[in-house]
Amino acid sequence: MALPKGKMFDDACHLLESAGYVFQGLSSKSRKLTFDSADGELRVLMIRGADVLTYVEHGGADLGVVGLDLILEQGRHVLEPLDLKFGLCRLVVAAPAGKASQSDSRPLRVATKYPRLAEQFFLERGMSVEILKLYGSLELAPKVGMADQIVDLVATGKTLRENQMEIREEILVSTARLVVNRASWSLKNERIRLFMDRILPFLSKERVISEG
Ligand SMILES: Nc1ncnc2c1ncn2[C@@H]1O[C@H](COP(=O)(O)OP(=O)(O)OP(=O)(O)O)[C@@H](O)[C@H]1O
Ligand SMILES: O=P(O)(O)OC[C@H]1O[C@H](OP(=O)(O)OP(=O)(O)O)[C@H](O)[C@@H]1O
């Protein structure tokens, strides 16, 4: 199973441990990249969030944990049988607080980690935009005049508030999903179903923000 090292790591580990999988030394800080459960049923691979779908699509991992935001952005051929409920966040359009939309006719400049979803969102509204792909600290882009708006993830809203920005539109709501390699689903169906049966009772009833 490919596990993302970032914000959802602690919740994913907690779920596996609740379901009875025991891993010695499993931590996001570890430099070791594979961990086997004591019962020999599950091997965890520590992966950067953006790479999880590549591992699962290409069979490097049978299973993975990844946000719906990345599944939709990357458009990979994987199965997505379970909403894991943690990792709740929203992909939104945000702009400097109180700033009126620009009135000149040049295209809106939008900074984002999600170029496909952003472009699709504005295209559906018939708006022509110039997308600037960044890898982080998106809230800086409007401050330094590189962009008019951003398309970014919001969970608590703290980052937007602390950078004097406000939400203008919501594009999607995301939570962590269990993703499965298509061939593994057929070849290891019974084991994957057993795994899902083991974690199902421990999924939160409500969608929750991951604090990691
Ligand atoms: N507050 C949040 N901000 C960003 N992503 C969040 C948040 N809460 C949950 N998520 C989920 O976590 C995923 C990002 O996790 P991660 O921390 O691994 O990303 P990252 O900071 O972009 O990672 P990396 O260091 O690999 O670039 C998102 O795809 C989303 O589904
Ligand atoms: O609403 P909040 O709870 O404040 O969370 C949202 C922030 O978290 C993410 O950034 P991340 O921590 O991944 O850092 P980054 O800017 O390097 O992408 C996201 O891109 C927002 O900036």
Tell whether the model's pLDDT for residue 101 goes beyond 80.
no
Other beta carbons less than 10 A from residue 103's beta carbon: 5
pTM of the model: 0.95
For 177, the token pair is 């999903």
In the reported structure, the alpha carbon of residue 154 is separated from the centroid of ligand 2 by a whole-number distance in angstroms of 7
Fold (topology level) of 89-173? D-Maltodextrin-Binding Protein; domain 2 (3.40.190)
Nearest to 102 by CA among 149, 34, 136, 69: 149
Q: 2-87+175-202 maps to which CATH number?
A: 3.40.190.10
* Ligand number, closest to the Cα atom of 207: 1
Residue 135 beta carbon below 6 angstroms from any ligand 2 atom: no
Task: Report the share of the chain in percent with pLDDT over 70.
Answer: 99
Model confidence pLDDT, tens digit, residues 66-91: 999 999 999 999 999 999 999 999 99
Mean predicted confidence (pLDDT) in 176-204: 98
User: Exposed (0-12), middle (13-18) or buried (19+): which is 136, by Cβ within 10 Å?
Assistant: exposed
Residue among 154, 170, 173, 211 to mutate when testing ligand 2 (max atoms within 8 A of CB) = 154
- pLDDT (0 to 100) of residue 103: 66
Contact 87, 76 (CB under 8 A): no
Please indicate whether residue 208, judged by its CB atom, sits closer than 6 Å to ligand 1: no
The strand pairing partners of 140, in sequence order, are none
Q: How far apart are CA 147 and CA 157, in angstroms?
A: 20
